[in-house]
Amino acid sequence: MNDELLARVGAWMAMDPDDVDRATIEKLIEEGDEAKIRHCFDPPLTFGTAGLRGPEMAGPAGMNRCTVRRATQGVVAWLGELGIDPARGVVVGRDARHGSETFNDEVVAVLLGAGVRVYEMPRPLPTPMTAYALQVLGAAAGIMITASHNPPADNGYKLYGPDGSQIIAPNDAIVERYANGAGAAQLATRTSVLHHVVDEGILESYREHMVTRFGVATSDLILAYTPLHGVGGEFMAELFTRAGFTHVALVEEQFRPNPEFPGLPFPNPEEAGVLDAGIARANASGATLLIANDPDADRLGAAVQRPQGSWRLLRGDEIGWLLGSVAVAHARDDDVVATTIVSSSMLEKMAARAGVHYATTLTGFKWITKAAPGRRLAFGYEEALGFAVDPCVADKDGISAALALSRLAHDLALRGLTLLDRLDELEARYGVHAGAQLSLRVAPPRGRDVLSAVMARVRAAPPTSLGGVNVSEVIDLEAGWNGLAPTEGLIWRLGATGRVVVRPSGTEPKLKAYIEVVGQPSPEDVGAERERAAATLTVIRDELSQILALDS
What are the catalytic residues?
Answer: 148
Residue 204: C-alpha distances to residues 201, 211, 546 (Å): 5, 10, 52
Residues in the chain: 552
Alpha helices in 342-387 (DSSP H): 346-354, 365-368
Q: What is the DSSP letter of 450?
A: H
Q: What is the DSSP letter of 362?
A: -
Residue 95: what are its φ and ψ, rounded to 5°?
-95, -160
Please tell me the distance from the alpha carbon of residue 529 to that of residue 203, in angstroms, as a whole number: 46
Contacting residues for 55 by C-beta, under 8 A, at least 6 apart:
62, 63, 153, 154
Q: What angle (nearest 5°) sits at the alpha carbon of residue 194, between those of residues 188 and 196? A: 110
Q: What angle (nearest 5°) sits at the alpha carbon of residue 294, between those of residues 50 and 399? A: 95
Cβ contact 504:488 at 8 Å: yes
**For the purposes of burial, counting CB atoms within 10 Å of the CB of 296, is it exposed (0-12), middle (13-18) or buried (19 or more)?**
buried
Q: What is the DSSP letter of 231?
A: S
Q: What is the CA radius of gyration of the chain?
A: 24
Amino acid at the residue 177:
R
Residue 485: what are its φ and ψ, rounded to 5°?
-65, 150
Cα end-to-end distance, the chain, whole Å: 25
Cβ contact 316:405 at 8 Å: no
Can you name the residues that pair with 171 across neighbouring β-strands? none
